[in-house]
Structure 1
Amino acid sequence: MKIHKLITKSDDLAALVSRLAQADFVAVDTEFMRENTYWPELCLLQIASTEEAAAIDPKAEGLDMGPLLALLVDNHDVLKVFHAGGQDLEIIHNLTGKVPVPLFDTQIAAMALGFGEQIGYSNLVESMLGHSLDKGARFTDWSRRPLDKRQLDYAIADVTHLSVIFPKLVQRLKKTGRGAWLNEEMERLADPSSFAFEPEDAWKRLKLPSRNPAVLGRLRAIAAWRETEARGKNLPRGRIIKDDTLGELASHPPKTQDDLGKVRGLSSGWRTNDIGARLMAAVAGAKPLDPDELPNRDAKRPGLTKDAALVSDLLKLLLKIRAKDVGVAAKLISRSDDLEALAAGVRGDLPILSGWRFEQFGRDALDLVEGRLGFATENGKLKMSRLETGPVQEPDTPASA
């Protein structure tokens, strides 16, 4: 494989992209910094086909990244391969407003092939290729220039190994017939709405036990204000105000700006500075949530009775057994809240009651909940025991909750 250590010239990058556009797939990775910023700062982008690999320096003066970004988000003929690519996709979405398509995540594929839940890249490389990666450069400052040889070797190794691993994973998926299992997960990753985050929705990421409409209305207003401040200043949210301080302000709103000096987590300067005034304006403009805006506890994720909680625990045990039998990471089959919903009586709009998840787990889960399946021990080993035979509701016509 031909290796281009570092590309800093627009002509060289355009030529590389022209060649990569003829490939069936490219492996992609990024190095970035975000400890001191709101937006992740792209410091290096690595890309490889089966023929060549390169690191591209987006901080190089005058470098036109346009052709490379167009390859990633507009060329639908080339598959883009990532490993645990959530943050890489976020960076590309921030730069282009789009998500690379089509895409493939090797961590998710590894989950379908029994490598465990969220296997790290170095562990996957060692398991599939027998190589041990040098992790020494992982936590270096990627924003500083010049980058040294060790950093570049580390960065490019990520995509060169990924370009070898991907075809091997595809072969295993074809052999096991599990390729179709990943379609839903890849579609979810490629959904741009996952990265288009509105400040007005920031409060939904915070945990506040109150159900008081006025308190939650203030939390919504203050969280949106903080998001706007953080974006405008390009600072981490916590550098503006920490989460626990937001909760305190929502629950016990200050009456005057002078009261901000008494709030734990805020300095005395907030009594008189401009940011304190903007915070008070956000508090003053807050409106209570309407009833239909309150977090819904009873629709798809109802609360559990004590008996239903026990059933949920049995479903989690069943999931462990089935995941082990099938050789798939349990997390790929079902989330805990889906199990709790099934235990509470929900039968519609649950992923485990349709498609491959129903065949591999959902059918047994439904039988367990509805009394057709139980646990038994034989020679000291746990096994499933069929209690009675009866018709099972097919996944395309689920019963009502």
Structure 2
Amino acid sequence: MRIHPLITRSDDLQALVDRLSKHPFIAVDTEFMRENTYWPDLCLIQVASVDEAAAIDPKADLDLKPLLSLFVENEDVLKVFHAGGQDLEIIHNLTGKAPSPLFDTQIAAMALGHGEQIGYSNLIESLLGHSLDKGARFTDWGRRPLDKRQIDYAIADVTHLATVFPRMVEKLRKTGRGAWLDEEMERLADPSSFAFPPEDAWKRLKLPSRNPAVLGRLKALAAWRETEARSKNLPRGRIIKDDTLAEIVLHPPKTQDDLGRVRGLSAGWRNNDIGARLVAALANVKPLDPEEMPERDPKRPGLTKDAVLVSDLLKLLLKIRAKESGVAAKLIARSDDLEALAAGVRKGLNMLSGWRYEQFGKDALDLVEGRLAFAIENGKLKMSRVAEPESVDA
């Protein structure tokens, strides 16, 4: 594989994109810094085909549009990532779109017996049999110039990714599990995962209250913090931490002077501009409208003591089935769906349709409905069928 020097010129990038566009897939990775900013600071983009690999310097004076167009507009080239959530967020921030089509090797690894969140180094070691150099892992990617070791380290990520991807696809083909991943890949590329208006920021916060007045304050204050963080390009927690925000929501200040007594805020909030804006954000806040009230999750009704025990049995069954099939339990079923099944829910559960039903849902349904039982035989746990399974629409 040909390894290019760091690309810092638009004409070199355009030529690279022209060549990459002729391949059925490319491996993609990024290096960024985010410790002190709201928006990720993109420092490097790495791409590779089976023939060549390169790192592109987004901080250089070059036009990234051809590369970004390849990511989000060219439907003929599959974009391959590993644990690509933050990479996808960066591309979405730059283009308003997610790469398409895409493939994430960490998700694929869940279907191939590598566990739920296998790291890139461990995946490479498992599939290729050698360890990666981690020496530049915590480098400051924002500093210039980047030395050869840093660039080599970054490019290695995509060269190995371009090598393991075809092997994983072949394993998925042989096991017939490729289609199992379609839903997960679609979810990963959902634009709503990357962009949301400030007025929806409250939905990401956990507050044990269904009081409309409290939730109205939460909505207002979360939107205020989101706007402050974006405008200053600072992490949300640098504006105000979640627990401090929750304290103010539950016990709102009557005046700005009261902010000086809030744990987590300095005395300066009594009279500074940001404190004034916080108090203004809470002024005349109305209770959350009934149509905005979060619905109680129909999949998670209150569990009786017996249902809790059934849920525990389902989790045990899931562990057994996951081990037998070599598929990560998280890919088959989630805990809240197991609890819902234990509580009597039968509709809207992924485990009761498609491949999940065949691999686990059928037995899970039999267990909760008394057609499957656990037993101990010669000191070992086994399952025994006590009645013939009933068919359901999958």
TM-score by length of 1: 0.96
What residue in structure 1 maps to residue 238 of structure 2? 239
Is 1:281 equivalent to 2:280 in the alignment?
yes
- Describe how 1:213-252 pairs up with structure 2 within 5 A: 213-252=212-251
User: 1:248-296 deviations in whole A, cap 9, x for unaligned?
Assistant: 0000000011111111111122111221111111111322123343333
What residue in structure 2 maps to residue 51 of structure 1? 51
Given that residues 367 and 392 in structure 1 are in contact (C-alpha distance below 8 angstroms), is that contact kept between their aligned partners in structure 2? no
Secondary structure in 1 matching 2:76: coil
User: 1:193-237 deviations in whole A, cap 9, x for unaligned?
Assistant: 111222112112212112222111111110110001100110000
State the one-letter code of the partner of 1:221.
A
Given that residues 257 and 272 in structure 1 are in contact (C-alpha distance below 8 angstroms), is that contact kept between their aligned partners in structure 2? yes
| Counterparts of 1:276 and 1:129, CA distance in 2 | 55
State the one-letter code of the partner of 1:13.
L
State the one-letter code of the partner of 2:296.
R
Secondary structure in 2 matching 1:288: coil
What residue in structure 1 maps to residue 117 of structure 2? 118
Secondary structure in 2 matching 1:393: coil
- Pair 390,18 (structure 1): closer, same or farther in 2 beyond 3 Å: closer
What residue in structure 1 maps to residue 332 of structure 2? 333
Displacement of 1:167 in angstroms is 0.2
User: 1:39-98 deviations in whole A, cap 9, x for unaligned?
Assistant: 0111000000000000000001x2100100000000000000000000100000000000
Secondary structure in 1 matching 2:310: helix
State the one-letter code of the partner of 1:313.
D
State the one-letter code of the partner of 2:342.
A
Given that residues 112 and 328 in structure 1 are in contact (C-alpha distance below 8 angstroms), is that contact kept between their aligned partners in structure 2? yes
| Counterparts of 2:309 and 2:253, CA distance in 1 | 44
What residue in structure 1 maps to residue 350 of structure 2? 351
Q: CA RMSD in A?
A: 1.0
What residue in structure 2 maps to residue 9 of structure 1? 9
- Describe how 1:306-345 pairs up with structure 2 within 5 A: 306-345=305-344
User: 1:361-382 deviations in whole A, cap 9, x for unaligned?
Assistant: 0000011111111111222221
What residue in structure 1 maps to residue 40 of structure 2? 40
State the one-letter code of the partner of 1:149.
K
User: 1:350-370 deviations in whole A, cap 9, x for unaligned?
Assistant: 110110000000000011111
What residue in structure 1 maps to residue 302 of structure 2? 303
| Counterparts of 1:316 and 1:198, CA distance in 2 | 37
State the one-letter code of the partner of 2:334.
R
What residue in structure 2 maps to residue 91 of structure 1? 90
| Counterparts of 2:297 and 2:99, CA distance in 1 | 36
- Report the count of equivalent residues: 394
Displacement of 1:390 in angstroms is 4.4
What residue in structure 1 maps to residue 77 of structure 2? 78
| Counterparts of 2:200 and 2:245, CA distance in 1 | 15
Displacement of 1:31 in angstroms is 0.3
What residue in structure 2 maps to residue 294 of structure 1? 293
Displacement of 1:27 in angstroms is 0.2
Secondary structure in 1 matching 2:4: strand
Displacement of 1:298 in angstroms is 5.0
State the one-letter code of the partner of 1:153.
D
| Counterparts of 2:297 and 2:234, CA distance in 1 | 37
Please list every run of 5 or more consecutive structure 2 residues that lacks an aligned counterpart in the other structure: none
Is 1:150 equivalent to 2:134 in the alignment?
no
What residue in structure 1 maps to residue 26 of structure 2? 26
State the one-letter code of the partner of 1:65.
L
Given that residues 366 and 389 in structure 2 are in contact (C-alpha distance below 8 angstroms), is that contact kept between their aligned partners in structure 1? no
| Counterparts of 1:195 and 1:224, CA distance in 2 | 16
Range with bigger deviation, 233-242 or 258-267? 258-267
Secondary structure in 1 matching 2:5: strand
| Counterparts of 1:337 and 1:290, CA distance in 2 | 27
What residue in structure 2 maps to residue 101 of structure 1? 100
State the one-letter code of the partner of 2:22.
Q
Given that residues 297 and 303 in structure 1 are in contact (C-alpha distance below 8 angstroms), is that contact kept between their aligned partners in structure 2? no
State the one-letter code of the partner of 1:193.
S
What residue in structure 2 maps to residue 258 of structure 1? 257
Please list every run of 5 or more consecutive structure 1 residues that lacks an aligned counterpart in the other structure: 396-401
What residue in structure 2 maps to residue 163 of structure 1? 162
Given that residues 373 and 384 in structure 2 are in contact (C-alpha distance below 8 angstroms), is that contact kept between their aligned partners in structure 1? yes
Given that residues 54 and 156 in structure 1 are in contact (C-alpha distance below 8 angstroms), is that contact kept between their aligned partners in structure 2? yes
| Counterparts of 1:203 and 1:209, CA distance in 2 | 13
| Counterparts of 2:242 and 2:353, CA distance in 1 | 38
- Pair 67,390 (structure 1): closer, same or farther in 2 beyond 3 Å: closer
| Counterparts of 1:390 and 1:108, CA distance in 2 | 31
Given that residues 299 and 336 in structure 2 are in contact (C-alpha distance below 8 angstroms), is that contact kept between their aligned partners in structure 1? no
Given that residues 98 and 192 in structure 1 are in contact (C-alpha distance below 8 angstroms), is that contact kept between their aligned partners in structure 2? yes
| Counterparts of 2:80 and 2:353, CA distance in 1 | 27
User: 1:134-178 deviations in whole A, cap 9, x for unaligned?
Assistant: 111111100000111111111000000000000000110011010
TM-score by length of 2: 0.98
Of all paired residues, the percent bearing the same amino acid is: 80
| Counterparts of 1:6 and 1:364, CA distance in 2 | 54
Given that residues 373 and 383 in structure 2 are in contact (C-alpha distance below 8 angstroms), is that contact kept between their aligned partners in structure 1? yes
Given that residues 256 and 275 in structure 2 are in contact (C-alpha distance below 8 angstroms), is that contact kept between their aligned partners in structure 1? yes
Secondary structure in 2 matching 1:6: coil
